[in-house]
Amino acid sequence: MLSRRGLIKNCLASLVAVKVPTSAFSAKNVSRYRIVAQKSEHQFYEGANLSDLFLYNGSSPGPLIVEKKGNILEVEFSNLLDEPSSIHWHGIRNLNDMDGVPGLTQAPVEPGETFTYRFPLNDAGTFWYHSHSQAWNQVARGLCGPLIVLEDDSLMSDRDLTIAVDDWLLDENEQIHTASLGSLHDWSHGGRLGNFLTINGKSAPEIKIPKTGKVHLRFLNFANARVMQFELNDRLPMRIVALDGAPCDPFMRQRLTLAPAQRVDVQIDDVSFLRELFEVSAGEEYSAATFAPNEVTQKLNALPRFVLPTNNMLKMDNAEVINIHMQGGAMGNLSSAIFEGEQKSLRELARSEKKLWAFNGEIGGYDLTLAEVDLGKTVVLKIWNDTRWQHGMHLHGHHFWVKSREFGDEANLVLRDTYLMQPGEQADLVFEANNPGSWLFHCHMLEHHVSGMGGIITVG
């Protein structure tokens, strides 16, 4: 971890995207924003060098978008980078052509071009948006931001806080370590792991909270590959109320595990005990942020409202089963795989194609169809992580039920869009194929995805 020479006194997650007044348009319930991807400078802490990043609207993280369930979100996206880009709306059960995957659901947005995303917000919860064009590179440089969808038309209150965590790999001058981007070692092991932790774009910020009562914390992991673990001071119990935006039957934990792309909503019953947030995945406490009691000046002091899913596990009668055998990576048992119709050794694939991971003996990509299923069908993704590494598996366009072991030995049936699988684990991800289109299923350790761990499920 790079040395920290100062503390930032303000949480910047409240920065909001440039919003066009809806009164200027005749359409009702349409919220319009402008987001620009561009090269920008950012200071991680007071006194730090300015770091050269790729950012949305010049802020890290990208501007917070807060909207109401049922609204239509319209975002005019301009790409001012020197390379193609796009935006994926992670966790949103989106229209297929608005999903933001270049080469699959849309053409890439070329430098100087603009693309307008327009889609309904059918689910309330904690979501996020990020580049899906060379994501292993562009997300590592800062192209990501939070998206909060509220159940009703109330505003986010002083008791509803966004905790966006990220893991940067910086050099001694506090610049992105560009020489290691594309490292085969990272791609074949755990992914690109950083040396510098931020909360809401800052190193060890001081986050202002009310002096008394309850508080709601929305944790989001924007890292390329690092699995985070968090504890509060004195191992203060956390009431987990939602996972990946989906409300769940509340349960208590003292430690929170957060894989890349996952979100966990936590409620603290008595904020007067809240003082510090620690990241503990390395086996020792690292102070990630401090909490400072603040006089409540707003009348908006209610916690967000949640509505539990109306259905539990889907009926399994006549469910379609899709077997997915995950293989590859360092110290794995994959000696060869099919790539572009030809069987090649893993050594050759790594050296000539930078491909290291496979589904069912085939190197993954947008041309690998895992299944074609009928609209309305119940689907079981029967996943076997036959590798030596963790993988955060993400399904686009749908949420799935899984008997999760992410919070202890006892399996909890939860609704997610990204599930952290342990080495050797077998799990069933169950979903209703109710969203037509070709949808990506991939590992959200972004280096694993680009080097082969992904495929397509077509619903229609």
Q: Work out the pLDDT band at 24, boundaries 50, 70, 90.
A: very low
* Average pLDDT estimate for 82-101: 98
CB 26 within 8 A of CB 150: no
61: cis peptide before it, omega within 30°? yes
Asked if pLDDT for residue 15 goes beyond 70, the answer is no
Helix, strand, coil tally for the chain in percent (to 5): 10, 45, 45
Asked if pLDDT for residue 3 goes beyond 50, the answer is no
* Average pLDDT estimate for 33-45: 98
Q: Work out the pLDDT band at 18, boundaries 50, 70, 90.
A: low
Say what percent of the chain tops pLDDT 70: 91
What is the Cα–Cα distance from 172 to 195, expressed in whole angstroms? 11
CA angle 72-77-82, nearest 5°? 160
* Average pLDDT estimate for 22-43: 81
**Sheet with 215-221, edge to edge strand ranges:** 196-199, 160-168, 215-221, 263-268, 238-243, 246-253
213 dihedral zone (left: phi>0; alpha: psi -120 to 50; beta): left
Asked if pLDDT for residue 14 goes beyond 90, the answer is no
> Which residues contact residue 279 at a Cβ distance below 8 angstroms, ignoring those fewer than 6 apart?
165, 197, 228, 229, 230, 285, 286, 288
3-state secondary structure of 231: strand
Radius of gyration, CA atoms only, the chain = 21
Asked if pLDDT for residue 21 goes beyond 90, the answer is no
What average pLDDT does the chain have? 91
β-strand partners of 127: 147
Rounded to the nearest 5°, which phi and psi values hold at 373?
A: -125, 150
* Average pLDDT estimate for 197-201: 98
* Average pLDDT estimate for 245-265: 96
Asked if pLDDT for residue 20 goes beyond 60, the answer is no
Q: Residue 72 has which token pair?
A: 């239509």
Residue-level pLDDT at 89: 98
* Average pLDDT estimate for 69-82: 97
Q: Residue 90 has which token pair?
A: 């992670």
* Extended strands (E) in 1-124: 18-20, 30-43, 50-56, 65-68, 72-79, 87-90, 114-120
Asked if pLDDT for residue 25 goes beyond 70, the answer is no
Asked if pLDDT for residue 11 goes beyond 50, the answer is no
What is the Cα–Cα distance from 3 to 377, expressed in whole angstroms? 53
What is the Cα–Cα distance from 107 to 100, expressed in whole angstroms? 9
Residue-level pLDDT at 190: 98
Q: Residue 448 has which token pair?
A: 């694993």
What amino acid is encoded at 270 in this protein? D
Helices and strands in the chain, H and E counts: 4, 34
Say what percent of the chain tops pLDDT 90: 84
Query: Among 16-30, 163-177, 425-439, whose mean pLDDT is lowest?
Result: 16-30
Residue-level pLDDT at 311: 58
CB 338 within 8 A of CB 362: yes
Helical (H) or strand (E) element with 402: strand 400-404
- pLDDT per position as a tens digit, 306-350: 776 665 677 888 899 999 999 999 999 999 999 999 999 999 999
- pLDDT per position as a tens digit, 166-178: 999 999 999 999 9
Q: Work out the pLDDT band at 297, boundaries 50, 70, 90.
A: low
| SS3 labels along 124-191 | CEEEEEEECCCHHHHCCCCCEEEEEEECCCCCCCCCEEEEEEEEECECCCCCECHHHCCCHHHHHCCC
What is the Cα–Cα distance from 301 to 155, expressed in whole angstroms? 10
Asked if pLDDT for residue 146 goes beyond 70, the answer is yes
Helical (H) or strand (E) element with 346: helix 346-348
- pLDDT per position as a tens digit, 273-295: 999 999 999 999 999 999 999 87
Asked if pLDDT for residue 404 goes beyond 70, the answer is yes
Rounded to the nearest 5°, which phi and psi values hold at 91?
A: 95, -15
